[in-house]
Structure formats: C-alpha cells, structure tokens
Structure 1
Amino acid sequence: MKDSVLKFYDAIAEDYHLIFVDWHLAIARQSEILNNIIQSKLGLSSTHNISILDCSCGIGTQAIGLAKHGYDVSATDISAVSVKRAEKEAESYGVKINFGVADFRSLETDVTGLFNIVLSADNAIPHLITDEDLYKAFQNMHAKLQYNGLLLVTIRDYDAMVKEKLTTTQPKVFDDGKRIAFQVYDWAGDGKTYTVNQFIMLEINGEWKTTHNRTEYRALLREEINKVLKATGFVDVEWHFPVNTGYYQPILTACKN
C-alpha cells in the first residue's frame, strides 16, 4: 500500500461526507442492507453480543449505522485523521464504538480479541496493489474472526469496470448546484491499476472552491479475490450484487472454517 493512500484519506476526512447526496441517509440505508446480509448469512435472532470489526472504517459510515442496529462495533482505519472524525460523529449519534488506528495488514497484532464479523467496505481492499499485501490483509482478517465468523467486503465491480475503462464519473450536483463531486480515472498502461482523482467543488459566497485529492487502486477481479480467499482459509465465498441487494457496490461474504 502506497503512502498516497494515507495522504488521501487524511486530506479528505473533513470533506468526505460531501461526496454523498446525504451522508446521514447513506449511513441508515447502507447499514440496513448490511444488516440484512448479516442476518441471512448467520441466521441471527438478535444482534445482541454480536461483535463486528470494521477494519477500514473511514469516517464511520458503516460502523455508526451497524452500532445503531445493536451490534458491538470496533472500528479501525489506517488514517488517524479519519478515525478522529469518526469518533466525533459516533458521539453525535449517541453510539458507543471502540475506535483505533490500525492497518488491515497487521490486524492480528494491532487489534485485540476475536470477532463474529470482520467488515471492510467502500472499496478499501483494492488499495492493496501487490499480491503479497492482498494475502497479508486477508490472512489478518481471517485471524481476527471467531470460528464460523463472517467476512464482509464491499468493492467496485471491476469485472465490468476493466472492460469499460471509464475515464470519469458523471458529476453529481447537489445543494441546488452549489456542490459538485466527480472523479477522473487515470489508467496504467497494463490496465490493472488506476489513479482516482477526486474533485469536490463548493460555491461559497459566490466564489467556487475546488479540492482535489488522488490515490491509487488495483482493479481486482472477482476470480483473483476468490483465489486469495481460498488460499487464506475462507470458505462459502458468495457475491451479492446491487440488482439484488440495493447496495451501491457488490458485496462479498465468506466464512472462517
């Protein structure tokens, strides 16, 4: 994982909510869908005493929503700036979450205890450019799960994306035209990695302010991920797609045997 990843999330932490139409609504909607997936996979009658480690929590989008559903949530991220904001947001929501700073390649040593569920959402895994880092991350997630625990990952549909080779997203216009967010993609020559340029434009007192941050991703195909999951001890790998779930990204589930 390159230094640009940490720099990106540190820089965007205070403005991250601005890429959503309504961040608070996203918290509610995403947690509802993730909760439904968890319930269907684990057959739970109650969320009481069910522990979750959100190991790429960002500013708390999923962690806060799942805590409101009654899960016992711990949340970590490589960006201390993002974690600090997540703590503030969790307090405003009145939910208790155990926060910490950790790299998901070293969870086994950085985080204490075992969990019923390990979650990594919002396309965080593809920041791992090398096979070595990818294996290391899934090994550490496997190590933090209890027996029969559930891994939950959300990721862009790279199987479709690598075929289309999109170079930009459609600008999202919010707040009666006073807020605009969009991304520009710079693809590497081999088509396996790309740089995201995130632009957020705000009109303030008649003047426009533009922020630009960039980071690198690996276009991870489902076959590649499935291979690593199998090699690191996961079973019952299943992909759940937006057409069926209503979630904005494909959701991967797998179990620790």
Structure 2
Amino acid sequence: MSRTRRFYDELAEDYHLIYADWEASIGRQAAALDGLIGPARRRVLDCACGIGTQAIGLAGRGHTVIGTDLSPVAAARAATEATRRGLTVPVAAADMRALPFPDATFDVAICADNALPHFLTPQDMHAGLTGIRRVLADGGLLITSTRPYDELREQRPGYSPPWKSTTPTGRSISFQLWDWHPDGERYDLEHFTLVPDGEGWRVAVRRATYWAITRRELATLVAAAGFTDVTWHEPEDCGFFQPVLTAIAKIAV
C-alpha cells in the first residue's frame, strides 16, 4: 500500500474534521467551482474525491458526477455521504494515472484540495495529468487547486495553526507539523486529530509527503500534458479557499 493511500485510508473517518463546518464548506466550494464551470450542467469527474466534499456539492447543483480516489475507504465514504443526502455519486478506487474510463468521457475534471502535489516528481505529475487529459473530451475543463506554495516555499513553515471543528460529542482539534526536505521543495506532513473521548482525547496521527510545487512549475506541466489556456485564479477572485488553476483540453488536430 502506498504512503499516500494509507494516509487517506486512515484519515477517511475523520476527514470532515479538517473543516470547521463541513456542510458549510461543501456549499461554499460547490458555489465557487460551479462559477468556474459555467451555467451548463456537465459530466464531471472528481478524480481526487476523498469523502465527497466537492463531488457532493456539485451533484447537488445538478451536475452528473463520478468520483474516484486512490483511497477505497475515502471513496466508499463519499458514496455513503452522497446517498445520505439523497444524491447519487458513483465512485471507484483509482489512481489518476490509470483512470478506469474510456477516452473523452467527461466535460470537466476536478482535482481539488492539494491532491496533485502528492506526485513528488515531474514524471509522476506528468503521468497523472495526462491520465486526466485522456478521459476529458476535447475542449474539456480541468480545475485543480493547491496550497499557495510560492509563498510557503519562501517561508518554510514548520506547522499549521490548530483549528477547531464541532462534533456531536464536542469540539475537535486538528493541526499539522511540516518537516521540509533538504531540497526545500518537498515536505513530510504529520496530521494530528484530537477528538473528545470521555474525560480525555483520542489522538490520531497520519503521515504524508507533498511536493510544494509553484504556480509556474504546475502550469508548465499542465501545458505539457495537453492543455491550453492555463490560468490561475486567486481565492479572493474565485471564492475557493485555495489558489485554483483552470485549463482547457487541447482539441486534437
């Protein structure tokens, strides 16, 4: 089992605690992504669906959404959460580099919430992006988001401030520790979740590695994978909580 898959398999149960209010985040993110997609209802692949944060919101707005994720545990929870809300979101466990769909199946591909930076080399990132391009129709839309790595690579923070979420049994606390590699581009993350457990706390620690890829680096790789009109959108402009890159699948000639 890969380190990334293990991270999300273990985190799936608590993933909603990443957000102060998961339901509100589902709505806000769907509104921002829908604004980038446009008024028409589309065939959407969420190829890093996790527990369904983006997929559920977009399905609720009338798009036909299929979710895939490297973690079968997270993908299964996404399907369950969609059903609980009266929505149908088919899911599959799949690597972006080997998506189980015919060519040109989708109008839109979503890869949000810093999923692409789990690819740690340009070669793996290219393979992931070309895998997404293959299942997009010509002229289809790619939407992906990352952390603001241009700034973070300069600052090299050692941690993220703790944040609080509300659970049926009380508040929970989450925070992250970041250990940067000597190259200054990659870092190991330890994600801590503290959940009330009687008089004490249940503490869980999950670990992953990321490539702090800059906007220019990612835009270059996206273009090389068969996309054009590569554009970055800042949170204050698009309403999403991270910087968003959009691009159009080149029309074959």
> Which TM class, normalised by the smaller chain length?
over 0.9
Partner of 1:154: 145
Partner of 2:49: 57
Write the distance in 2 (CA, Å) between the matches of 1:104 and 1:55: 7
Partner of 2:219: 226
Q: Deviations over 1:120-173 (max 9, x none)?
A: 011000000011111111111111111110000011110011011111111113
Write the distance in 2 (CA, Å) between the matches of 1:15 and 1:181: 10
Secondary structure class of the residue paired with 2:159: coil
Partner of 1:32: 31
Q: How far apart are residue 232 of structure 1 and its match? A: 1.6
> Given the alignment of the two structures, is residue 118 of structure 1 paired with residue 113 of structure 2, yes or no?
no
Relative to the length of structure 2, the TM-score reads 0.94
Write the distance in 2 (CA, Å) between the matches of 1:172 and 1:24: 16
Write the distance in 1 (CA, Å) between the matches of 2:195 and 2:234: 33
C-alpha RMSD over aligned residues: 1.4
> Given the alignment of the two structures, is residue 208 of structure 1 paired with residue 206 of structure 2, yes or no?
no
Of 48, 61, 70, the match for 1:69: 61
Figure out how many residues of one structure are paired with residues of the other and give that number.
247
Write the distance in 2 (CA, Å) between the matches of 1:97 and 1:85: 11
1:246 partner letter: G
Percent identity between matched residues is 38
Unaligned runs of 5+ in 2: none
1:140 partner letter: G
Of 107, 128, 133, the match for 1:137: 128
Relative to the length of structure 1, the TM-score reads 0.93
Partner of 2:79: 87
Secondary structure class of the residue paired with 1:169: strand
Partner of 2:235: 242
Partner of 2:96: 104
Preserved contact between residue 235 and residue 241 of structure 2 (Cα < 8 Å): yes
Q: How far apart are residue 22 of structure 1 and its match? A: 1.0
Q: How far apart are residue 174 of structure 1 and its match? A: 3.6
Unaligned runs of 5+ in 1: none
1:7 partner letter: R
4+ aligned runs moved over 4 Å, structure 1: none
1:27 partner letter: I
